């Protein structure tokens, strides 16, 4: 909820690099709410 309205988030991720010591995901995020839809590229890493 944001300002009394509902906001929806969708993540689409794929494995980009995976080793025993490191993991990286890359993809996109889309969110919609209040008549607006925005998209962004996303990269997530775990070490």
- If one counts every other C-beta atom within 10 angstroms of the C-beta of residue 24, the result is 14
Query: What is the pLDDT averaged over residues 13-26?
Result: 91
Task: Flag whether pLDDT at 45 surpasses 80.
Answer: yes
pTM: 0.60
pLDDT band for position 3 (cuts 50, 70, 90)? low
Task: Flag whether pLDDT at 43 surpasses 80.
Answer: yes
Task: Delimit the domains of the chain by residue range.
Answer: 8-46
Query: What is the pLDDT averaged over residues 14-18?
Result: 91
Q: How many Å separate Cα 36 from the centre of its chain?
A: 17
Nearby residues of 3 by Cβ (< 8 Å), 6 or more positions away: 34
Task: Flag whether pLDDT at 27 surpasses 60.
Answer: yes
């Amino acid at each position: 909820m944001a300002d009394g309205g509902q906001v929806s988030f969708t993540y689409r991720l794929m494995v980009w690099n995976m080793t025993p010591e490191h993991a990286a995901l890359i993809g996109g995020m889309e969110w919609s709410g209040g008549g607006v839809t925005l998209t962004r590229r996303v990269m997530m890493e775990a070490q």
